[in-house]
Structure 1
Amino acid sequence: MAKRIVVVGAGHVGLYTALRLSRKLKSREAEIIVIDPQPHMTYQPFLPEAAAGNISPRHAVVPLRRILRNKCHVITGLVTSVSAKTKTLTIQPLVGPEWETGFDHIIVAPGSVSRTLPIPGLKENAIGFKTIGEAILLRNQVLAQLDIAASTADLATRRRALTFVFVGGGFAGIEALAEMADMVDDGLRYYPELDRKDLRWVLVEASEKILPEVGLELGAYTAVQLVERGMDVRLSTRLESCVDGKVVLSDGDTFESDTIVWTAGVKPHPMLDSTDLPRDERKRVTCDAYLRVIENGAPLDGVWSAGDCARVPDLSLDDPDATCAPNAQHAVRQASRLADNIAAVVRGQEPKEYRHKYAGSVASLGLHKGVAYLFGIKIRGLPAWWVHRTYHMSRIPSLNRKVRVVADWTLALFLKREVIALGQLQAPKHEWREDSF
């Protein structure tokens, strides 16, 4: 009888695991069900380029029903509970009543969400940067501020509109900041009323360094590059408040801004609160090196996890307490090992440990600029930017998406960047709500 394998979440881990399982197992061996509230997987490393208009936002997402059309059943909905003891879960579809189903194996991989702090005004005024919707919203917001600044004679309004604040000096914050700055620089040619010196880009980072994943030297190089581009880099500084757009920093500085981007870390998806799975002090699902969920040192039958939401031992390091970092590189490789292990167990074989020596990190600093630390080699500038694009183009799933992304990049060599805000996308029926009938 075919085993029922349920995949909760279709991010890097969920999608790659389901795709590999569908290729390794025959229909008579397994029924694969993939559940996610979105009908697509978002390739998050391409969010900055999608926001900046280097690639179409549609090309930064992968349609689940297209790529998983063979031997996978895709359900668009929320998992509202998981019971490892009874091997059941409850699904809330987009419309209609929730329903319950059982499983033989479950892969719990909902990923992570933005980690917010109780900062006054943050939830009301800041924009996150983890979804394609947030990327489009940020693009519209930044470009709309140019229109506002160019259409007013009030200096305070213009100064507020042209002040852009990014909180968090990791990959998401740095790449979003750099790409948005490049986009605005390109757009200024269409705004004779504005001057580049009127722009203020502020990076706020609570620690003493940025991009720690690429090492101290390349992190310092990145900071210097940003400062040379006229950006205000605030290290060892925290955002204290942003009520009504009034930004208050821990170093005592205060100013106003209509664009505040929050990229200061992630936390495991809150969906995990509705499960009976064991978790550590950081709310991550506890796993062993085989990617099995463990409780009191013993694996739970048929329950697996990986990715941002999981605590997975890093066997490549000498430290017995070391765990894998929450990044795409580990997620993709964990997905391969996870699929192989489940296929092995289904066929009565033994699983293998996940072991991957971290290869390094790459980051874009805008068009034709970047940093990379690969296998101990430090790369910067144009070569690093090329490595960044090449690596991520190779990792995005499906030939369809690879071709579309390369086509976008190729066209950008000959055509000027589109710098138009489509803010009405956020409220397309606004006029209908007015008393106009």
Structure 2
Amino acid sequence: MTNPVRILVVGGGYVGMYTGLHLQRKLKRQLAAGEAEITVVTPDPYMTYQPFLPEAAAGSISPRHVVVPLRRVLPHCRLIVGQADAIDHAKRTATVTTLATAEEGTGPLQLPYDELVLAPGSVSRTLPVPGLADHGIGFKTVEEAIGLRNHVIEQMDIASSTRDPAVRDAALTFVFVGGGYAGVEALGELEDMARYASRYYHNLKADDLKWILVEASDRILPEVGEEMGQYAIRELRGRNIDVRLNTRLASCENRVAVLDDGARFPTRTLVWTAGVKPHPILAASSLPLNARGRLACTAQLAVAGAPHAWAAGDAAAVPDVTTTAKGPDGSPAECAPNAQHAVRQAKVLAGNLVASLNGQPLTDYRHQHAGSVASLGLHKGVAHVYGRKLKGFPAWAMHRAYHLSRVPTFNRKARVLAEWTLSGLFKREIVSLGSLEHPRAEFELAAGGEPPVRR
């Protein structure tokens, strides 16, 4: 009996999940006969649909409906919840730390493989800004989204009950750094939610809240085009949101956001969404990287110069064969690292991997960008799709329709649609469940411990 082909997928995001899904379908017979095995290594046992994080933060969608359980979607794959620390492709082994190995102190696992799919995604890109590590809040995971929602409502509670004007002003000042999708959509949804919640506070008005968006370039939402980006700025400023372009965060020490234009804002909330960078595992893989730290890939989604290694999504620099345009350094243009490409690349990657096992020719990945949609809050949005530009309610409706069609599994589609329907019939929920972040706090206090320090 020949040994089974061992396929290792590193990452459980868009590319990891969809690649595993397509592979288990294409290799159904081989998996059943023991001729192939697929292992997925991921830090979390679920895939997060990140475009829904702003709505989860605003309370329009329940957190559990923003994630897709991988064990249910990938029943024919072996799922290992852990962190890939290093990859030795010459020896075809990956070093993986799991909760069990960390708890037992037995050292990391050494996972052998024959075919590698490297799709760890990206991590938040931070800068050496004084105070950022101590006071900054990210917005890349569902835990961060729900934590930020609880935090915003908690700050309104503090402002409503304090007698100190300085504490009140700092609690009601919310600074967002980064004018891309994550920053603008999170700001738009949370401002909408907080504006609605303010009506239930006897001594707070919506105009008491100060929202500031800091963007280093001269535009926001570049994906939707300059015209729609300018509309988004006008829409945000019309809601009394301070949009500052060509501006950078210089410091946030002592809970004071200092901008490079000289402005200073005492604040208890600083949300950092200023881009992403390649996952550290790429540098620890010995595989070829481009100047930006992403895996150098061919149009067939194979890692250049590394047989039996494949990559897609945020981790991969995939040439865009649909255009003759060049990048800033004169090299061929690359596919944008977004979900639209990642989902489609995963299907081609799985097909090419199976084709290579069968000695068949590979297929180039080609997909022209269809456009972009962005929400600016309830019933507000911008869109630039197939050359058509929409704004306001039509753009917001297109945003919801597109992402409803893209969220994985019929189960999630039905649940999200049901929640949207119910939210249109009933009032918003404005409850803060910040205690979920410290579930043992009450028991520890009763047992004589110290209460946790809250931000």
Give the shorter-chain TM-score range: over 0.9
Unpaired runs of at least 5, structure 2? 327-331, 450-455
2:100 aligns to what SS in structure 1? coil
The answer as to 2:395 corresponding to 1:395 is no
Match of 2:236 in 1: 226
2:211 aligns to what SS in structure 1? strand
Match of 1:307 in 2: 313
Deviation at 1:6, TM superposition (A): 0.8
Distance in 2 of aligned mates of 1:353 and 1:246: 50
The answer as to 2:177 corresponding to 1:167 is yes
The answer as to 2:380 corresponding to 1:378 is no
Deviation at 1:242, TM superposition (A): 0.3
Q: Structure 1, residues 46-92: CA drift from partner, whole Å, max 9, x if none? A: 000001100001000001101111x2111111112211111111221
Match of 2:425 in 1: 414
Match of 1:21 in 2: 23
2:303 aligns to what SS in structure 1? strand
Distance in 1 of aligned mates of 2:111 and 2:336: 32
Aligned pairs for 1:39-188 (under 5 A) are 39-69=45-75, 71-96=76-101, 97=106, 98-188=108-198
Distance in 2 of aligned mates of 1:80 and 1:260: 30
% same residue? 55
The answer as to 2:222 corresponding to 1:217 is no
Code of the aligned partner of 1:430: A
Q: Structure 1, residues 295-324: CA drift from partner, whole Å, max 9, x if none? A: xxx3x1210011111111111111252111
Q: Structure 1, residues 169-201: CA drift from partner, whole Å, max 9, x if none? A: 000000000000111111112112101121100
Code of the aligned partner of 1:24: K
Aligned pairs for 1:178-217 (under 5 A) are 178-217=188-227
Q: Structure 1, residues 318-365: CA drift from partner, whole Å, max 9, x if none? A: 125211111100111111110111111122211111111111111001
Aligned pairs for 1:216-365 (under 5 A) are 216-294=226-304, 298=305, 300-320=306-326, 321-365=332-376
The answer as to 2:416 corresponding to 1:405 is yes
Deviation at 1:30, TM superposition (A): 2.4
Using the TM superposition, name which of 394-403 and 221-230 deviates more.
394-403
Deviation at 1:432, TM superposition (A): 4.7
Q: Structure 1, residues 198-246: CA drift from partner, whole Å, max 9, x if none? A: 1100000000000001000000000000000110000000000000211
Distance in 2 of aligned mates of 1:218 and 1:402: 28
Match of 1:30 in 2: 36
Code of the aligned partner of 2:143: G
Unpaired runs of at least 5, structure 1? none
Distance in 2 of aligned mates of 1:115 and 1:243: 19
Distance in 2 of aligned mates of 1:80 and 1:227: 44
Match of 2:448 in 1: 436
1:293 aligns to what SS in structure 2? coil
Deviation at 1:139, TM superposition (A): 0.4
The CA RMSD over aligned residues, in Å, is 1.2
Match of 2:7 among 5, 8, 13: 5
1:428 aligns to what SS in structure 2? coil
Deviation at 1:431, TM superposition (A): 4.1
Distance in 2 of aligned mates of 1:162 and 1:62: 34
Distance in 2 of aligned mates of 1:303 and 1:431: 50
Distance in 2 of aligned mates of 1:94 and 1:137: 23
Using the TM superposition, name which of 26-35 and 167-176 deviates more.
26-35
The normalised TM-score by structure 1 is 0.97
Q: Structure 1, residues 244-282: CA drift from partner, whole Å, max 9, x if none? A: 211100111112000100000000111223211111121
1:32 aligns to what SS in structure 2? strand
Q: Structure 1, residues 102-136: CA drift from partner, whole Å, max 9, x if none? A: 11111000000100000000111010000011001
Deviation at 1:37, TM superposition (A): 1.0
Contact 2:199 2:205 in 1 (8 A): no
Using the TM superposition, name which of 424-433 and 411-420 deviates more.
424-433
Deviation at 1:20, TM superposition (A): 0.9
Deviation at 1:433, TM superposition (A): 4.6
2:377 aligns to what SS in structure 1? coil
